[in-house]
């Protein structure tokens, strides 16, 4: 039995989108201590972020999370768009993980106890890649099916 009215990959989009949206809403009115902590972690990996005040950085981060979460939850947003936004978001988290030696065991890609919360975001990258690959596969199949044989 198929439900044609449900967009493909809906479970991944709902689970991931709700998680990210909630995270962004929680950060939106975050206290100064939270802003300092999040900003400090981000600037350790991306020093150019030092030029942004911690409170403003937290607002930008919260807004980005709300947008990514909303894109994933909105059924009218194509999987390719939702997947690309998730790839960008999770990719930045994993780049921070890769660029912060304290998050990894020495000489390893595997997380230290402090890096586990960020390293686990690899699942979001996998979902984003799956959404994008599925959209590209469907697009390729549709374009092959629409070609007509030459006369």
**Residue 127 counted as domain residue:** yes
**Residue 145 counted as domain residue:** no
**Residue 142 counted as domain residue:** no
Q: How far is CA 125 from the centre of its chain?
A: 6
Segment 54-99, tens digit of pLDDT = 999 999 999 999 999 999 999 899 999 999 999 999 999 999 999 9
**Cα dihedral 64/70/75/76 (nearest 10):** -60
pTM (predicted TM-score): 0.83
Name 21's Cβ contacts closer than 8 Å, sequence gap at least 6: 65, 66, 69, 70, 72, 73
| Structural domain total, the chain | 1
CB 20 within 8 A of CB 68: yes
Query: Where is 127: in which H helix or E strand?
Result: helix 122-146
**Residue 151 counted as domain residue:** no
**Residue 148 counted as domain residue:** no
Range of the domain at 58: 10-137
Segment 100-114, tens digit of pLDDT = 999 999 999 999 998
């Amino acid at each position: 039995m198929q439900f044609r009215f449900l967009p493909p990959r809906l479970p991944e989009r709902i689970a991931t989108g709700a998680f990210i949206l909630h995270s962004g809403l929680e950060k939106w009115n975050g206290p100064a201590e939270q802003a300092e902590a999040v900003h400090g972690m981000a600037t350790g990996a991306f020093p150019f972020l030092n030029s942004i005040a911690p409170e403003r950085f937290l607002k930008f981060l919260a807004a980005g999370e709300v947008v990514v979460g909303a894109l994933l939850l909105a059924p009218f947003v194509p999987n390719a768009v939702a997947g690309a936004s998730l790839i960008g978001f999770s990719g930045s988290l994993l780049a921070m993980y890769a660029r912060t030696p304290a998050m990894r065991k020495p000489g390893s890609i595997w997380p230290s106890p402090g890096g586990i919360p960020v390293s686990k975001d690899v699942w979001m990258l996998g979902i984003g890649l799956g959404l994008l690959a599925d959209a590209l596969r469907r697009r390729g199949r549709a374009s092959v099916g629409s070609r007509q044989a030459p006369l």
